């Protein structure tokens, strides 16, 4: 991944944490080294999620005294997603998941997008696969790609395959670009399958997602790149083709295709 591409991916994550409304980070973040953006995002996380910790912990300490359905009712109708996310992040993942099972899918998706990144994976993956799938689709419909990027590669193989079938090709490209663990992209490509990957890569430039597609290609295995070589050439904008070794994608719903 080029320094510019890595910087843009980290800027998107930081912009989401700071609640910028647009899908792209503001211009003043452009060109800031990725490691500086990561360090700043970590500092913001400490400020957002560790502030007022004493008060939050008092509320969490009272949680075992009430049944999960009652806590869920209070969380959804009185606390709202931001405070609920802070509280769930302090609970043991199993207890947080027990409460989340009694919340509506839409509310859990809002909470998942606001969870402390340092504990989000543990909380979400403690939920049943069926509920995680519904949450994932709701997050994608809300364009919460950063939240999706934190959890998608931590799903079991079956849940991941079901999730991918429910997402559009564009969703997958955007999620892959902000994935927390880019080493998992090759596995994602394998589950998506050759036929769908060819379509994604072929449509990427027309979607304005050539950079996202190129990033995906760079994290494929050599065998995957070889198998998808014809589609890669379509994925990158003409002006980029000389500079880039290989190209990338687009799409919308439900096509699995053969394995790469």
Write the pLDDT tens digit of every residue in 134-146.
888 899 898 999 9
Query: Would you say residue 215 lies in a domain?
Result: yes
Query: Would you say residue 177 lies in a domain?
Result: yes
Can you give the pLDDT at residue 29? 83
- Lowest-pLDDT range, 13-27, 177-191, 200-214, 234-248? 234-248
Q: What does the block give as tokens for 29? A: 């973040």
Q: Which of 133, 168, 165 is nearest to 151 (CA)?
A: 133
Measuring CA to CA, how many Å separate 4 from each of 7, 32, 33, 35, 225? 5, 9, 8, 12, 22
Query: Would you say residue 29 lies in a domain?
Result: no
pTM over 0.85: no
Tell me which of 46 and 146 has the higher pLDDT.
Answer: 146
Alpha carbons within 13 A on the beta-carbon side of 100: 36
Can you give the pLDDT at residue 88? 80
CA dihedral (54, 60, 66, 70) in degrees, to 10, reads 110
Count of the separate structural domains present in the chain: 1
Can you give the pLDDT at residue 23? 63
Query: Would you say residue 42 lies in a domain?
Result: no
Confidence of residue 241 (pLDDT cuts 50, 70, 90): very low
DSSP percent split of the chain into helix, strand, coil, nearest 5: 70, 0, 30
Query: Would you say residue 21 lies in a domain?
Result: no
Domain interval for residue 239: 168-260
Q: Which of 33, 13, 32 is nearest to 23 (CA)?
A: 13
Query: Would you say residue 64 lies in a domain?
Result: no
Query: Would you say residue 260 lies in a domain?
Result: yes
Query: Would you say residue 178 lies in a domain?
Result: yes
């Amino acid at each position: 991944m080029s320094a510019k591409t890595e910087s843009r991916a980290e800027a998107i994550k930081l912009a989401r944490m700071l609640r910028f409304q647009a899908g792209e980070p503001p211009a003043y973040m452009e060109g800031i080294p990725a490691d500086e953006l990561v360090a700043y995002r970590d500092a913001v996380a400490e400020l957002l999620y560790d502030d007022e910790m004493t008060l939050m912990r008092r509320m969490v300490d009272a949680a075992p005294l009430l049944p999960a359905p009652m806590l869920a009712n209070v969380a959804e109708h009185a606390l709202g997603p931001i405070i609920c996310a802070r509280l769930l992040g302090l609970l043991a993942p199993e207890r947080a998941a027990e409460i989340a099972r009694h919340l509506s899918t839409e509310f859990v998706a809002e909470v998942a997008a606001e969870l402390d990144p340092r504990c989000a994976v543990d909380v979400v993956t403690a939920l049943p696969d069926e509920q995680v799938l519904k949450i994932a689709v709701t997050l994608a419909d809300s364009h919460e790609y950063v939240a999706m990027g934190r959890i998608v590669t931590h799903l079991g193989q079956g849940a991941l395959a079901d999730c991918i079938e429910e997402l559009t090709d564009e969703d997958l490209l955007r999620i892959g670009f902000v994935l927390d663990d880019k080493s998992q992209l090759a596995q994602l490509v394998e589950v998506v399958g050759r036929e769908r990957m060819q379509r994604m890569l072929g449509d990427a430039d027309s979607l304005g997602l050539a950079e996202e597609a190129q990033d995906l290609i760079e994290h494929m295995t050599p065998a995957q790149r070889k198998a998808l070589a014809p589609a890669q050439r379509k994925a990158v904008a003409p002006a980029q083709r000389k500079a880039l070794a290989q190209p990338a994608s687009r799409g919308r719903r439900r096509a699995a295709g053969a394995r790469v």
